[in-house]
Chains A and B, each alone.
Chain A
């Protein structure tokens, strides 16, 4: 149990376009989902916390107009990178908190974004 999927697993796009990344909890309901960014050989950096049915809470320094997060249901959250630029190229990972186990977070496999 506690499987989280992400789609796509990798994406290449042109500068100026928008990219949507989906995060799904497959076998549990997630009241809270988290979006992280990870640069090579570095730890995870929390970008935002997403609660179902409410606006996401962004970490300091993360542009909410650039990284749009929607948590439409208890099993789906999306991250849209708007007007992507090469500096947005990174590994984006989502996690979901299982409401049954309260504090445990389970991670998706990640999405590698390359902006040309």
Chain B
């Protein structure tokens, strides 16, 4: 079993829809949770960074962390074709700076 599980997709939704992306993890020691967006042949771009449980909003993006369920989510509202990319979740232990990555979910927003 991988430490971080993420459905690789692809996930295809129509423009304007609310998108839900998820990761589950097995190690309860993870404290920091991140979502990155990666366009084809580009480096990952940090979208959201959260510590421990709770919600965090930034514009159209909302990150949720449920440590009791070992489950994190990224919601994208009013999705746009420009949101089409691969979304990777990543996690860290409190004192270890190595990122543990999910496989990435390919998202396609259809105009």
Contacts and interface: CB of A to CB of B under 8 A. Distances in A.
Given A43-B102, A49-B98, A97-B97, A104 B49 contact: yes
A7 to B, nearest CB: 13
A95 B88 CA distance: 15
Contact of B41 (A4, A106, A112): A112
Contacts of B43: 4, 6, 93, 95, 107-110
A96 to B, nearest CB: 11
B94 to A, nearest CB: 9
A104 B48 CA distance: 10
B17 interface: no
B90 to A, nearest CB: 8
A95 B98 CA distance: 11
Which secondary structure characterizes the binding site on chain A?
strand
A91 B46 contact: no
| Number of chain A interface residues as a range | 20 to 34
Contacts of A32: 97
B19 interface: no
Contact of A43 (B41, B45, B103): B103
A77 B97 CA distance: 17
B54 interface: no
Interface string B69-111: 0000000000000000000100010000111011110000000
B98 A93 contact: no
Contacts of B36: 107
Interface of A: 2, 4, 6, 32, 34, 41-44, 46, 49, 91, 93, 95, 97, 103-110, 112
Interface of B: 8, 32, 34, 36, 41-46, 49, 88, 92, 97-99, 101-104
